[in-house]
Chains A and B, each alone.
Chain A
Amino acid sequence: MTGVTRNRPTKRVTSVDRFLTVIRVVMASLIIIGILAFIAQQIDPNNPFARWRNPGARGLTGDQFKGLLISGLSQGSMYGLIALGYSMVYGVLGFINFAHGEVFMVGAMSGFITSDKLHAAGWWESNFLLSLTVVTLIAIVTSTFTAVVTERIAYRPLRNSPRLIPLITSIGVSFFIQNAVMGLLGPATKSYPKLPEWLTKQRSILTFEIAGTKIMVVSVAAVSMAGLWYLVERTKTGRAMRAVAEDKEIAALMGINVNRIIVVTFAIGGTMAGIGGILWGLLFRSVHHMTGFLPGIKAFTAAVVGGIGNMGGAMAGGVALGSAESVAPMVLMEPLGIPGVSQLKDAVAFTVLVLVLLFRPAGLFGERLSQEDRA
């Protein structure tokens, strides 16, 4: 009798499970066929397997493939920077801060305003490094301020409410910030001033031809990540943050000021988003009020891919998502004979999210959440 009762809840296979298995199998086989077709096309564009779905198969040259990887890597490291904010807030408060993409956008916007002013004053050209420092500092300050203010106004009063309530609130905050920025600065797309030649020119590293800006993006992201790792793992504040993430009440009993730690968490997330915003501005040189929306959702996807609450995972997830987004259309979808693949770039990111949650709900590197959040 006991055996029956013990086994029932785990062994019950419903039609939903069967359906999900079918989806898993179909998706996995599509991916495998796509990769096989890609390999076939790389070996010889004229073989029947490559021609099967995509008669116009030409195959990618090595340089094209490297280019895809590099742009995926630089884009992905920005996703990673934003994802850190999602991951940390989720780890500490257990809700998705939907407005985090907007914090990123505000950073990029304030960076635009400052750099534009500096450009008008002629300093952007004459003293680039100093201006860049000023621009970055201002962007970080604005982003951090935005993140902290939203926490104070919108999230703190809701700390003990059902978990969907802060999520819905953050959607409202997100729309509010987007449209307030649109009202303040106008709906037009804004262009960052031109970067100096020595920064943007192509450099050759290990046979990879990389634009200087991309090198900068990746290295800045790596440095920020290292700094954050040091902060969280090696300092007292970091230990307090981990304690709060594990259990707020016990942390408070241990003499940790929970409110302060939560504010610090938001501030750090804001800082990372500010850096990400500046990098975005320098890389794509254009921002507008909706810039934060899609990167925000994708960064959340990256956080989930890496395992939410796990900071190294967030960065790795960002890079994985960025690469998947830039590589998958050419490597998986074109060999499967889907035309106009570049339009489906955003769809790839969301499909990755669905796939990760179907195959490995805890993310690639596992979640680091407290027990209550996993329920």
Chain B
Amino acid sequence: MTATLAPSGPSVALDWRRVLLWGGICALSLVSVSLIGLPVGMNKRILIEPVLSLGYLFLLWIPLVFGYVATTVVVLEGVEARKSGRADLLAGLIAGLMGGIGLTLLMVGLDTVNLRKPLVNWSPQLFRLLTFERGLEFGIPVWLGICAVLGLVGAVLHQLPAVARRVMSWVVFGVLAIAILEAVIDDLAEGFHLEWLTDAMYYKKGGTAGLTVTSAVVLALVFAALPLVTRGRVKAAVGRYRNVAAEDRQRSSLVIFGAIAVACLGLPMVLGGIVNELLANVGLFLLLALGLNIVVGLAGLLDLGYVAFFAVGGYTTSVLTSSNSPFFAPEWHFGIALLFVVVMAAVAGLVIGAPVIRMRGDYLAIVTLGFGEIVRLLFLSDWLKPYFGGSQGITKVNPVDLGPFKVQGSDPRSVFYLVLVFCALAIYVSWRLQGSRLGRAWMATREDEQVAEAMGINTVNAKLAAFVVGATMAAFSGAVLAAKVGSVFPKSFEILVSIIILVVVIVGGMGNIAGVIVGSLVLIGILGGPRQPGLLQEFQSYKLLIYGALLVFMMLKRPEGLVPSARRTRELHQDEYLQDAWLGDDAESEGDQGAPS
């Protein structure tokens, strides 16, 4: 009888080793994030006026996440999962608290020793930021408290009912999204003459200044209400849409397509210059990402030198349309140059593709990376300077003359429309190719080359075709870039570009067009491209760090991407599917045995 009176379910003792491990990692990450300079670098970007800046946000999520991770219950197949109880709350609290202790040590260290020499961020600014400019006596207890509470919240998340968790995530992500998207929302409001709304929402003093506390609270309430009001109706609607018959579905698809088209065509008219510039960049990289999606996502060829084709497109356009090209300057129209862009891209695709096509996957990656560097170095070299201008590049690329209006960099809206045309084309081509004979050949080759060959697929031709199609899309993007910037330099075509596009494709979801679109909107739009600033310009110097971390995280936790393609997911989680199938078989055979007896 006494056993049933035990305080909380099956009382499992605190797993000290695990808690201390995660707590230590939490402290370590807090300290290293501070020393890498994220909080100080981003402190200028205010999210909620006096309370929260992006810099602090970068510290706050760490104890929360580690509190959550430290108390995650491992669920094993066939073993009854342990219920999380009071010990878990304590574990979360301790993990968070250890993070706080890490920060305390950092603060004391900042106060007493000077390590400025190797560590550039060992600075008074960091000390002031951590202590809220009120000295150690204030900073230490506050951080210990905040971290412990956040760790506890992380642990509590496991024990909350699903509804509460959904509401919480809606509130947190919704408010943060509204705060981060301030520039876009501002711009939209101006276009629709709704300035009063944003004036009420944002604390507008000196540039972007974040939400006010009241509007943050109001927004939080709205976002909290949203999941409660809709209650999975959206999900149900999507499910219904998936299940309706083909003809009906076609009709509603047309409606959706029309809405998207109208939005794409209409929105730029009401948006201002900055957001249009942003969208144009997103479009440029979307075009690149769609091409890489065909090479990597569909055909499974990890091409790290993809930027070479981007460069080929840019340089071909510049040579043919610029008045300043050193060797050959016919000053043709952009449209005629495009024909040559296609030809050059196809040639480049074949020349780079042919030698690497037979190589193992990882050799292919490194060799294409080498080709990417070779192309850049050639454009940069004195040897080809008489043709491509060396490090000075080619300037004075003529704007695209389309009769009534011109597409040029000073008018980002026109660039966006130009990019939109190419993107629409690329999306259509990728979509049609996906289901075509060639697309299926690509996917078969990706999944198992020998089997594909045995099925009668000419894998060499299929791979070459992937290279050529991908190259053409990248070259189009390069052509638009040349017209947009009005010049090309070898510096714009570094290996970095390939890697960033790879991150976009992987984060979005390899082999899935929608995923690639989402990936480029989120990553390029918010974080920014290799040289182009995104919505959060404060990220500029930490962008690559975040891209790197994101790539590792996605590969470890969700290799199929944010918007996964069904086939790709199955391939990546093959073990689990096989296991499920095996368990299913087992259950069935048991059933069979059970029936006759």
**CB within 8 Å of B: which residues of A?**
14, 16, 19-20, 23, 95-96, 113, 116-117, 153-154, 157-158, 160-169, 171-180, 182-186, 297, 300-301, 304, 338-341, 343-344, 346-347, 349-351, 353-354, 357-358, 361, 375
Contact = CB atoms under 8 A, between A and B. Distances in A.
Interface string B542-562: 101101111110011001000
Contacts of A347: 373-374, 377-378, 381
Contacts of A96: 362, 365-366
Q: Is the interface of A mostly helix, strand, loop or mixed?
A: helix
12 contacts: A16-B354, A164-B361, A164-B365, A165-B559, A171-B304, A171-B551, A179-B548, A183-B38, A184-B35, A354-B355, A354-B367, A358-B355
Nearest to B296: A164
Contact of A163 (B362, B377, B571): B362
A116 B117 contact: yes
A175 B555 contact: no
Contacts of B380: 343
Interface in B526-556: 541-542, 544-545, 547-552, 555-556
Contacts of B355: 20, 23, 354, 357-358
A179 B555 contact: no
Interface in B369-386: 369-371, 373-374, 377-378, 380-383, 385
A13 B111 CA distance: 73
B118 A113 contact: yes
Interface in B404-425: none
B382 to A, nearest CB: 3
Contacts of A173: 548, 552
Contact of B556 (A95, A154, A297, A375): A154
B549 A176 contact: yes
Interface of B: 32, 35-38, 117-121, 300, 302, 304, 350, 354-355, 357-363, 365-367, 369-371, 373-374, 377-378, 380-383, 385, 460, 464, 499, 502-503, 506, 541-542, 544-545, 547-552, 555-556, 559, 571-572, 575
A306 to B, nearest CB: 14
Given A174-B548, A358-B355, A14 B118 contact: no
B36 A184 contact: yes
A161 B557 CA distance: 12
A347 B355 CA distance: 17
Given A117-B117, A164-B302, A164-B361, 12 more contacts: A167-B302, A169-B555, A176-B552, A177-B548, A179-B542, A300-B366, A338-B383, A339-B382, A343-B377, A347-B374, A350-B374, A353-B367
A171 B499 contact: yes
A39 B377 CA distance: 27
B72 to A, nearest CB: 15
Contact of A353 (B118, B366, B550): B366
A23 B371 CA distance: 15
Given A113-B118, A164-B300, A340-B381, A353 B354 contact: no
B548 A172 contact: yes
Contacts of B119: 184-185
A169 B359 contact: no
Contacts of B373: 297, 346-347, 350
